[in-house]
Structure 1
Amino acid sequence: MEAVHTFKWTGDEKAYLNVIHVEKLGPLSIGLYGGNTEAGASKNEDAVLAWCDPHGTWEFVMIFDAQSTIERAKFIIDIICKRKEKLLQLFTYPSHLVFHHTHMYLLSLFTDEKIIEESERIQEQTACLICLRKGKFVYWLSVGECFVYLFHPRLLQCDQGRLNKQQCYERIGRKNIFSAATPCFTSGVRELQEGTNHIVMTTDGIIECGERIFEDDYVLYQSLYSDDTLHVGDVLEKIEVWKGTDSATIIGWSVDIGHMDCICEQD
């Protein structure tokens, strides 16, 4: 099997305080910013794990926004990396099987008693967002306050952009949502539209800055998109000008879909 493109980073490795860093991984543009030290930023508790199929059939991305310590995010990344071979096998399944089986496998990991017991030895908590794009569909699993968007002109006309909502009291950690008798999380699958689709993932450091103008999906889209390309660095430059104190991570990529029936009918 041809090696997949891989990016793994945690904020304790390099915090990018007062620094905007943008890196490419296959179709992904990965933007990292640790916050402004003059405004009070002192560390970066975000993290990223990304895998891309060299042939462009799928992308798998995880982003984290940890609290107080990055150890929780590192623990989950380690769990996923140890099971990389199994996950890559799942990603070869056809679309009508891949998302269901990947979802059930991820839930089995997060709810495994041994993993929960080991997890509870680590202090603090983390938000976690997982996305898998294969073919003309995107799947996500979200706990906490990271966000995923699917941008396309047709969807924006329907006032659709962000796929999930902020969940302030759900975390993975010492208070672990997956240790509850009934775990709470957000997940779903969406079909991409004909033409160019833009998938974007962010931590809440993007939203909670600059009078929160990026709470408006269209404003975020306008700041990202120009010359038929996503520019994640342009968003981080605005965060830097606004002297954001929270670390901010944003990942975006574009997927072109051939002719298909329109999903969103206009009046």
Structure 2
Amino acid sequence: MRNRFSWVGSEKDFIDEKNVCSIDRVAVGRFGGNSSAGQYKNEDGCIVWVGENWEFAAILDAHYSAESAELIIRTLDEFQHELIRLIAKPGFHDLQEKLLSIFQSDKFLDQCKKVKGETACLICIRKDNYLWWFSVGDCVVYVFHPDFIALNQFQLNQRQFYEWIGQVNTFDKAVPCFSSGIRELRKGVNRIFMTTDGLLECPGEPFLNPIDLVKKLDGEQLEDAFSLILTKIEKNNVRDSTTMIGWTVNISQQGSIPSDGVEN
């Protein structure tokens, strides 16, 4: 069973072609967009690593060319063993500091200046009953759980425009701009879902409202749900490429509850 995977759209573009595959317990869905809508290249990319009690997933949406996505994938692969070692340590502080040091290193900054274009980058790591994310740009991660859904809480990060890594590079500024956070997962089934913006900007906006994603992901196996989602955006004649990563985590620990037992 595979537990390491990486791909970039310059290798295979999946234009007019839907693809859903599994890397261990993680589902990956890819669609390069419709040539009939004018699509001719795919600049997305992704990485998935799966451990015994953790998952590492990165999703990239490049602009102008796929070179910046290729660079980040090569860089993360280069540091794979060290990053996995840090995942095993308590908390996420050391991991975040390591990623920041990689992205702010002279070597990486010099490489960024030589690529054509720039990329959004979203990295998520689930370990035990926590999910950590690190986001530059406009890719999105959701956590779907009945407790959150009941309170209309879906999306963890906010899409940030004019923010990239590459030729135009937030880490080459006096003060880098990015967002990160940690979410405690709830007891029971949590569905983690990451996507590039092609899904959200599809004509007709069939999945702009997260509840429409919940409906698809809640009643199907993830691979089947991904196929249905990609079929829908294909029928809506989406041009932009879409890459999705998702997995299900069943948490046995009780999550935090208010001291009086009442949420609001």
Q: TM-score range by the shorter chain?
A: over 0.9
Aligned to 2:205: 212
1:266 aligns with 2:263: yes
Flag structure 2 segments of 5+ consecutive residues without an equivalent: none
**Compared with structure 1, are the counterparts of its residues 237 and 153 closer, same or farther at alpha carbon in structure 2 (3 Å cutoff)?**
same
Contact in 2 for aligned 1:137/1:191 (Cα 8 Å): yes
Q: Percent identity?
A: 38
Shift in alpha-carbon separation, 1:261–1:67, aligned structure 2, 3 A: closer
- Which amino acid in 2 is paired with 1:14? K
* Residue 175 (1) aligns with residue 151 (2): no
Secondary structure at 2:29's aligned position in 1? strand
Residue 45 to residue 153, structure 1, CA distance change in 2 (3 Å): same
In 2, the alpha carbon distance for the partners of 1:263 and 1:183 equals 35
Q: Distance in 2 between matches of 1:227 and 1:75?
A: 35
- Indicate whether 1:71 and 2:67 are aligned: yes
CA separation in 1, counterparts of 2:209 and 2:58? 23
Task: Determine which of 57, 62, 83 is the counterpart of 1:61.
Answer: 57
AA matched with 1:191: E
Cα offsets for 1:210-257 (capped at 9, x unmatched): 322322111121122214656222111111110100000111100000
Task: For 2:126 and 2:200, locate their aligned partners in 1 and report how far apart those are by CA, in whole Å.
Answer: 23
The question of whether the paired residues in 2 share the 8 Å contact of 1:194 and 1:262 is answered with no
Q: Is the 8 A contact 1:30 1:251 kept in 2?
A: yes
Candidates 155, 163, 185, aligned match of 1:192: 185
- What residue identity is the alignment partner of 1:105? K
CA distance in 1: counterparts of 2:42 and 2:221, whole angstroms: 31
1:1-267 counterparts in 2 under 5 A? 5-53=3-51, 55=52, 57-94=53-90, 97=91, 99-227=92-220, 231-263=225-257, 265-267=262-264
**Is the contact between residue 224 and residue 234 of structure 1 (CA under 8 Å) also seen in structure 2?**
no
Aligned partners of 2:222, 2:80: CA distance in 1, in Å?
30
Q: Which amino acid aligns with 1:233?
A: S
Contact kept in structure 2, 1:40 and 1:245, CA below 8 Å: yes
CA-to-aligned-CA distance 1:15-42 (integer Å, 9 cap, x gap): 1111110000111110000001111111
CA-based RMSD of the aligned residues comes to 1.6
CA contact (8 A) 1:224 1:235 kept: no
Distance 1:174 1:162 in 2: 28
TM-score (norm: length of structure 1): 0.93
Aligned residues: 260
Q: Name the SS for the 2:204 alignment partner.
A: helix
Preserved CA contact (<8 Å) 1:4 1:51: no
Q: 1:85 to 1:259 in 2, by over 3 A?
A: closer
Q: Match of 1:250, SS?
A: strand
Structure 1 gaps of 5+ residues are: none
Q: Classify the secondary structure of the residue corresponding to 2:157.
A: coil
SS at match of 1:245: coil
Q: Is the 8 A contact 1:47 1:64 kept in 2?
A: yes
Within 1, Cα distance between the matches of 2:123 and 2:249?
18
Q: What is the SS of the residue equivalent to 1:211?
A: coil
8 Å CA contact retained: 2:55, 2:126: yes
Hey, what's the Cα distance between the residues in 1 that align with 2:131 and 2:105? 25
Which residue identity lines up with residue 172 of structure 1 in the other structure?
I
Q: Deviations over 1:148-167 (max 9, x none)?
A: 00110110111111111111
Measure the CA separation in 2 of the matches of 1:169 and 1:192.
30
Offset of residue 184 of structure 1: 0.6
Structure 1: how far apart are the matches of 2:2 and 2:99? Answer: 20
Q: Does the 8 Å CA contact 1:128/1:142 hold for their aligned counterparts?
A: yes
